[in-house]
Amino acid sequence: MENTKKLKISVIIPCYNESLILEREFRLLQREIESKLDRIIYDYEIIFCENGSTDNTREILDRIVFNQEKVQVLKLSKQSYGEAMKEGILKSRGDILAIFNVDYWDIEFLSKSLKYIESKDVDIAIASKTHKKSKDKRPFTRRIITRIFNQCLRLFFGFSGTDTHGIKVFKKDKIIQLIQTIRTKHELFDTEFLLKADIVGLKIKDLPIEIIEKRKTRFSLIKRLPIVVREFYILRQEIKTFSFYRKKYFYENIACNFDSIMNTYDLNTRLRVVFRELLRDIDLKEKFLLDAGCGTGWFSQFAERLGAKVYSLDVGKKLLKEVGTKCGANLIEGDIIKTPFSSNFFDVVVCTEVIEHVENQKKAINELYRVLKKNGYLALTTPNKLWFPLVFIANLLKIRKYEGNELWFSHRQLTKVLQEAGFCIIKTEGFHFYPFNFGLNRFNDYLSKNLGKSHPFKFLAINFAILAKK
């Protein structure tokens, strides 16, 4: 055991005008850590994050840190709970981080959390004041405010936890990148952290706690409310953007497993529709072809076999790496909203099951028009908005494997956007007349081939394909 490297715990404590209880609470905290933490397994440090105090908190911290090798003090020039927390987390040297307050800490909770964290069943442990087994002995008003705030989080963000503020314990390597994305700087830093942690799929565990008020709150509701309202607005915008950004890179995150998840029948159907039907009369030999949103490269591979000079474009390196195992296409990391290509560069653009995942679809269509040569062709496939309710239900039931952004077009909507960009619609086909997951693929093929080109049946298919000309 002596040769085993100890895990280091960083206890991070934000400080603002804490002179009345700071020194006393530090001595109690250090004594508890020394007596109750298993020192054979764990080492520790305490980080005070002072931020703009107007009393003598700084002087007290200078006294505390003197001759204390396990204590460090970080000082910020202005009051900002969020900036103080971020600074403490980024400067910490521990493997496991514990967020305490000067008047709210619990070493027994820390010990309990460590067991969950080290079991790898939990990424973040939270001391929840509203857990059914918690004993919240704060004044009635503060308890009510906590519950009202939690209800607001459920209403506006779909929050499923029971608390966001207070003591937290987590492994640093699990959250370090996430922390750097946080925008709120005051009251809602903890809330943004946990909402984003939930979005990226970190495992969060609410644990009971006993909380006793050691001093009256120093901030009146009237003073705090404007700050909370302003940050709540910022938080709504940030979580919306963060969720979209994460979904945008969903396929990048599953790149290594994407081919195994992909439905082979659907893939082969789309390859047939694009190359054997839409582009059937176009000789691709020596043509410059852009595979816009190439995924793992099946369409790039097919086009290269037909003699095209292929450029494969997608948002992530991992996806492009998969493309490189299938063909010798030029691999370009980028977004179809703003590509790195010059105008009038490509003879053909292939964009299959991509446009529905783009946040600004009109801008993307305009960009594809820009990079095409005059008389160049766009071969595009996308799901039919008519069938979106089915996908919505599948997502609710969690029986769908994909989590990307879903902004589906109707045929009329997509045709309008293409024509406004300057495209001339050459042909439209429908394919998949019922979900291909159901099997009976031959019958689905029969319906696609016999009804997919006929009006109005082609507009009723789950997917439609369009060939447009610049």
**Predicted confidence (pLDDT) per residue in 433-455, tens digit:** 888 766 688 888 888 888 888 88
| C-alpha separations of 152 from 149, 161, 322, 336, 340 in Å | 5, 12, 43, 37, 43
pLDDT of residue 41: 78
Residue 199's closest CA among 249, 254, 243, 244? Answer: 243
Other beta carbons less than 10 A from residue 108's beta carbon: 11
From CA 314, how far away is CA 256, in angstroms rounded?
15
**Residue 76: beta bridge partners?**
51
b/e 78-99 (16+ beta carbons within 10 angstroms → b): ebbbbbbbbbbbeebebbbbbb
Residues of the chain below pLDDT 50: 1-3
Residues 7-248, CATH architecture: Alpha-Beta Complex (3.90)
Helices (H), 276-360: 298-305, 317-324
Q: What tokens does 310 get? A: 């292929």
Per residue in 236-264, pLDDT (tens digit) is: 888 877 776 666 656 666 667 777 878 89
Distance, CA of 117 to CA of 137 (rounded, Å): 27
Q: Which two tokens stand for residue 158?
A: 């779909």
pLDDT at 7: 86
pLDDT at 218: 65
Q: Which of 315, 432, 457, 319 is nearest to 382 (CA)?
A: 432
CATH superfamily of 252-469: Vaccinia Virus protein VP39 (3.40.50.150)
Cα 12 to Cα 246: distance, rounded to the nearest angstrom: 28
Instruction: Return the pLDDT at 166.
Output: 85
Pair of tokens at residue 4: 């085993």
Q: What is the pLDDT of residue 395?
A: 63
Domain boundaries defined on the chain: 7-248, 252-469
pLDDT for residue 269:
93
Q: Which among 188, 57, 37 has a CA at the least distance from the CA of 113?
A: 37
